Copies of this chain bind each other. A is one copy, B any other.
Amino acid sequence: MINTVRAEVITIGDEILFGQIADTNTAWIGTELTNIGIRVIRKSSVGDQKEAILQVLAEAHQRADIIIITGGLGPTKDDITKKTLCTYFGVGMVRNETALALVTGFFEKRGREMTDLNRGQADLPANAVYIQNDWGTAPGMWFEHQDRVYISLPGVPFEMKHLMSNRILPKLTAHFQTPIIKHKMIRTVGIGESFLAERIEAWEDALPDHIKLAYLPSFGGVKLRLTATGADNTLLDHQLAEQVTKVMPLIEKNVYGFDNEEIETVVGKLLLEKQLTLSIAESCTGGYVSAQITKVPGSSAYFWGSVVSYSNSVKVTQLGVLPETLEAYGAVSEETIRQMAEGVRKALGTSVGIATSGIAGPDGGTPDKPVGTIWIACSTEQRTVTRLLKLGQYRDQNIQLTTMYVLNMLREEILNQ
């Protein structure tokens, strides 16, 4: 029996507490640690104050085997992580020659002059194992202290990710014996959390003890996450697959994908499989649908382009919407959305066209068409389908929800092909 290896993740920086930057690092670290069978038991953020940092380190020491610290490694005066780690470990600061060579090379390569602040980035607590950062001048550091591993990383996301992926995760896997934790995510759309729960209640109650279920609601869909813990990789995979097979008949119509498959990845795969090409006409979503589609590497194989038609003149000249349709029914109408989807498909010469037009808010609503009134459409060579959405009052949310719905409409229409 292998003991659970427990990790805590600590972010340092007033800007996180004050909400001036969003923390995307710890979610990423959580996923990576989970994947190698390390259990994240707590995440904490504290400000750039020595006492607060010392306290959270001491607390984490009581609970965790691994303590990962991000942030506070910049060259400027408000960054105090290294000094505080010296106090915590009871050691002095030492200039690391390898680190110094790297910082020097970094500046030489870019033809920039180096400052004393930059040189200071090569100073490390004496007990640190230096972990080379190929993407910036802040060092990675690994400490072993009273049977715990402490890791300090820069807060800049791409530097942190590079250090974790290439240096830290392999070192952790070598250092610890970890149990196996496997996840399976089932992604649903078009059904609320409590209805989903009722529909699968008997199945949920019959889950074995080592498999846990969680409901993760988000915009436009609920994800079901199964987590299995054990010692045998193949067995766990098999047991998870078995549970998926059992539950699928109950929810099949609402499932669009598994694990990390975002809906834009799912529709991309379907378009490729069926050898279809896609174009998009966006009004109220303003480019967001296209941005989601093109986030996917390789999307140029099936996505040809979009027209973001914010003004009516662009709807007419680029998409061929009839001025008399706009005149008679308005830009937010079934007649217009139909012409937008058909128009973009023809103008860009693709097999499928999708379209959005509505009132995202906060302004522009009328008694007839309040904020949140949004039409979506999908046009193929066979037919054009349209749908009216009645969403809420928040602009961001309306844009995101509309995107989810129109991509799901696209998915359903491709499956009908």
A27 CB to closest chain B CB (Å) equals 4
The answer, yes or no, to whether A269 is at the interface (CB within 8 Å) is no
Residue of B78, B194, B311 touching A213 (CB-CB under 8 A): B78
Inter-subunit contact B44/A216 (CB<8 Å): no
Contacts of A18 in B (CB 8 A): 30-31, 34, 40, 183, 225, 227
* Chain B proximity of A111: nearest CB distance (Å): 13
In the assembled complex, the Cα of A74 lies from the Cα of B213 at a distance in Å of: 14
Give per-residue flags for A298-311: 1 if the beta carbon is below 8 A from chain B beta carbons, else 0. 11100111111111
> Once the chains are docked, how many angstroms separate the CA of A48 from the CA of B59?
20
A19 vs B225: C-alpha distance when bound (angstroms) = 12
A417, CB-defined interface residue at 8 Å: no
Interface of A is mostly: mixed
- Interface-located stretch among A9-17, A125-133, A144-152, A380-388: A9-17
Stretch at the interface among A248-256, A321-329, A389-397: A389-397
Q: Is B310 a contact partner of A204 (Cβ separation < 8 A)? A: no
Q: Which residues does chain B contribute within 8 Å of A361, judged by CB atoms?
A: 297
Asked whether A335 is an interface residue with its Cβ less than 8 Å from the other chain, the reply is no
Residues of chain B contacted by A31 (CB below 8 angstroms): 18-20
Question: From residue A23, how far is it (CB to closest CB) to chain B in Å?
Answer: 7
Residues of B within 8 A of A288 (CB): 287, 291, 294
A87 at the interface (CB under 8 A from B): no
Select A287's contact among B45, B217, B290, B396, beta carbons within 8 Å: B290
Set of chain B residues within 8 Å of A291, measured between Cβ atoms: 285-288, 290-291, 399
What is the bound-complex CA distance between A42 and B56, given in angstroms? 9
A24 within 8 A of B: yes
Q: Map CB proximity to B onto A316-334 as digits: 1 under 8 Å, 0 otherwise.
A: 0110000000000000000
Contact between chains at A307 and B318 (CB < 8 Å): yes
A26 CA / B17 CA spacing, docked (Å)? 8
Q: Please, which residue of chain B has its CB at the minimum distance from the CB of A22?
A: B27
As a 0/1 sequence over residues 268 to 302 of chain A, the CB contacts with chain B under 8 angstroms (1 = contact) are: 00000000000010100111111101110111100
Whole-angstrom distance between the alpha carbons of A29 and B22 in the complex?
A: 11
Of the candidates B14, B47, B215, B286, the one whose C-beta lies within 8 Å of that of A74 is: B215
Chain B residues, CB < 8 A from A27: 16, 19-23
B287 near A363: Cβ-Cβ < 8 Å: no
* A26 touching B21, Cβ below 8 Å: no
Q: Residues of B contacting A75 with CB < 8 Å? A: 193-194, 197
How far apart are the CA atoms of A75 and B285 in the complex, in Å? Answer: 32
Q: Which residues of B are found within 8 Å of A56, using beta-carbon distances?
A: 42
Cβ of A177 < 8 Å from any Cβ of B?
no
5 A-B residue pairs with Cβ-Cβ distance under 8 Å, sorted by A, are: A16-B30, A19-B40, A41-B47, A115-B198, A118-B194
* Interface, chain A (partner B; CB < 8 A): 14-24, 26-32, 34, 40-48, 52, 56, 59, 74-78, 112, 115, 117-118, 156, 158, 183, 185, 192-195, 197-198, 204, 212-218, 223, 225, 227, 280, 282, 285-291, 293-295, 297-300, 303-311, 313-314, 317-318, 347-349, 361-364, 392, 394-397, 399
Instruction: Please name 14 further chain A to chain B contacts, defined as beta carbons within 8 Å, in addition to the given A23-B26, A26-B45, A76-B197, sorted by A numbering.
Output: A16-B27, A18-B227, A22-B24, A118-B194, A280-B308, A286-B303, A288-B294, A290-B308, A297-B362, A305-B308, A305-B309, A305-B314, A306-B307, A311-B348
